[in-house]
């Protein structure tokens, strides 16, 4: 079921990309039919893509940091004498993931503001 949900979500996103990339009178007609608000001369697709991208970056970073934290706590429970080394490596890895996710969000915002 989980695989079907992921595939259907990807199918919807891929189907929406050509519709968001159109220019001219077709865009105004489609926007009026949906009732969306378009600002900056049809930049709705860029804003929508940036929002989806920033959301995916945040979800990926949260999942990665959660796995790091869970694995580190499990490792500390198995070997309490190595907890100082494990916690240091965990914090370093979490900081690197946060840096990459911040970069991803900045890139998506720059795309939206272009």
Determine the Cα–Cα distance for residues 71 and 68; give it in Å rounded to an integer. 5
* Single pTM value for the model: 0.57
* 69/110 same-domain check: yes
Q: What percent of the chain has pLDDT over 70?
A: 68
CATH code assigned at 58: 1.20.20.10
Mean pLDDT calculated for residue range 24-45: 59
- pLDDT tier, 14 (very low <50, low <70, confident <90, very high otherwise): low
Residues 55 and 76 reside in one and the same domain: yes
Containing structural domain, residue 3: 1-42
Do both 71 and 95 map to the same domain? yes
Domain match, 4 and 47 both: no
Query: Same domain for 54 and 33?
Result: no
Q: Are both 87 and 48 inside the same structural domain? A: yes
DSSP the chain: -HHHHHHHHHHHHHHHHHHHH--THHHHHHHHHHT----TTTTHHHHHHHHHHHHHHHHHHHHHHHHHHHHHHHHHHH-GGGHHHHHHHHHHHHHHHHHHHHHHHHHHHHHHH-
Contact 18, 57 (CB under 8 A): no
Please indicate, yes or no, whether residues 47 and 34 belong to a single structural domain of this protein: no
- The confidence score (pLDDT) of residue 46 equals 72
Domain end: 11, 26, 42, which one?
A: 42
Q: How many domains does the chain have?
A: 2
Burial of 29 (0-12, 13-18, 19+ CB in 10 A): exposed
* Domain shared by 98 and 47, yes or no: yes
């Amino acid at each position: 079921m989980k695989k079907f949900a992921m595939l259907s979500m990807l199918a919807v996103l891929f189907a929406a990309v050509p519709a968001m990339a159109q220019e001219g009178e077709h865009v105004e007609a489609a926007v009026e039919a949906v009732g969306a608000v378009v600002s900056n001369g049809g930049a709705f697709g860029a804003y929508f893509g940036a929002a989806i991208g920033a959301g995916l970056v945040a979800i990926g970073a949260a999942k990665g940091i959660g796995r790091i934290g869970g694995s580190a706590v499990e490792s500390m429970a198995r070997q309490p004498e190595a907890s100082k080394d494990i916690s240091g490596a965990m914090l370093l890895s979490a900081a690197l993931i946060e840096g990459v996710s911040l970069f991803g969000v900045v890139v998506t915002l720059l795309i939206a503001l272009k």
